[in-house]
Amino acid sequence: MIVVMKPNAPEQSVNTVIHIIETNGMTAHLSAGKEVTIIGVVGDKTKLDTRSIQAMSDVEKIVNITESYKLANITFHPDPTVISLKHTSIGPENMTVMAGPCAIESEEQIMSAAKAVKEAGATILRGGAFKPRTSPYSFQGLGEEGLKLMQQASLETGLDTICEVTSLKALDLAVKYVDMIQIGARNMQNFELLKEVGKAGLPVLLKRGLSATIDEWLNAAEYIMSYGNSQVALCERGIRTFETATRNTLDLSAVCVLKEKTHLPVIVDPSHACGVRSYIAPLSKAAVACGADGLMIEVHPDPACALSDGAQSLDFPEFHNFMKELKTFTILAGRVY
The distance of closest approach from Cβ of residue 98 to a copy of itself in the complex, given in angstroms and rounded to an integer, is: 20
* CA–CA dist 95, 93 (Å, integer): 7
Cα angle 216, 202, 83 (rounded to 5 degrees) comes to: 75
> How many Cβ atoms sit within 10 Å of the Cβ of residue 119?
13
* CA–CA dist 127, 114 (Å, integer): 10
Tell me the Ramachandran region of residue 5: left when phi exceeds 0, alpha when psi lies from -120 to 50, beta otherwise. beta
- Applying CB under 8 A, among 177, 279, 316, 322 the residue interacting with a copy of itself is 279
- At 29, give phi and psi (nearest 5°): -115, 115
Q: Which residue lies nearer to a copy of itself by CB, 82 or 310?
A: 310
Q: Which of the ranges 83-91, 111-119, 152-160, 235-243 carries the binding residues for a copy of itself, by CB under 8 A?
A: 235-243
Q: Which of residues 69-88 bind a copy of itself (CB under 8 A)?
A: 69, 75
Q: Which residue lies nearer to a copy of itself by CB, 109 or 313?
A: 313
**Are the CB atoms for 125 and 113 separated by under 8 Å?**
yes
Query: Does residue number 65 form part of the binding site for a copy of itself (CB under 8 A)?
Result: yes
Q: Which residue lies nearer to a copy of itself by CB, 220 or 233?
A: 220
- Applying CB under 8 A, among 77, 115, 148, 186 the residue interacting with a copy of itself is 186
The distance of closest approach from Cβ of residue 187 to a copy of itself in the complex, given in angstroms and rounded to an integer, is: 6
Q: Which among 179, 187, 170 has a CA at the least distance from the CA of 223? A: 187
The distance of closest approach from Cβ of residue 296 to a copy of itself in the complex, given in angstroms and rounded to an integer, is: 16
Q: Which of the ranges 62-70, 83-91, 118-126, 145-153 carries the binding residues for a copy of itself, by CB under 8 A?
A: 62-70
- Applying CB under 8 A, among 112, 249, 320, 337 the residue interacting with a copy of itself is 249
The distance of closest approach from Cβ of residue 157 to a copy of itself in the complex, given in angstroms and rounded to an integer, is: 25
Q: Which of residues 106-125 bind a copy of itself (CB under 8 A)?
A: none
Query: Does residue number 43 form part of the binding site for a copy of itself (CB under 8 A)?
Result: yes
- Applying CB under 8 A, among 169, 176, 199, 324 the residue interacting with a copy of itself is 169
Query: Does residue number 307 form part of the binding site for a copy of itself (CB under 8 A)?
Result: yes
* CA–CA dist 303, 294 (Å, integer): 23
> How many Cβ atoms sit within 10 Å of the Cβ of residue 282?
12
Work out the burial of residue 152: count CB atoms within 10 Å of its CB; fewer than 13 is exposed, 13-18 middle, 19 or more buried. Answer: middle
**Are the CB atoms for 204 and 229 separated by under 8 Å?**
yes
- Applying CB under 8 A, among 125, 266, 287, 296 the residue interacting with a copy of itself is 287
Binding mask 198-227 for a copy of itself (x = CB under 8 A): -----------xxx-xxxx--x--xx--xx
- Applying CB under 8 A, among 11, 12, 35, 79 the residue interacting with a copy of itself is 35
The tally of CA atoms less than 13 A away on the side-chain side of residue 253 is 3
User: How far, in Å, are 46, 85, 118, 122, 279 from residue 88 at the CA level?
Assistant: 38, 5, 12, 10, 27
* CA–CA dist 218, 236 (Å, integer): 12
Q: Which of the ranges 78-86, 87-95, 108-116, 275-283 carries the binding residues for a copy of itself, by CB under 8 A?
A: 275-283
Query: Does residue number 245 form part of the binding site for a copy of itself (CB under 8 A)?
Result: yes
* CA–CA dist 318, 109 (Å, integer): 16
- Applying CB under 8 A, among 14, 173, 303, 330 the residue interacting with a copy of itself is 303
The distance of closest approach from Cβ of residue 193 to a copy of itself in the complex, given in angstroms and rounded to an integer, is: 7
Q: Which residue lies nearer to a copy of itself by CB, 152 or 249?
A: 249
Beta bridge partners of 164: 182
The distance of closest approach from Cβ of residue 43 to a copy of itself in the complex, given in angstroms and rounded to an integer, is: 7
* CA–CA dist 333, 290 (Å, integer): 9
**Are the CB atoms for 122 and 99 separated by under 8 Å?**
yes
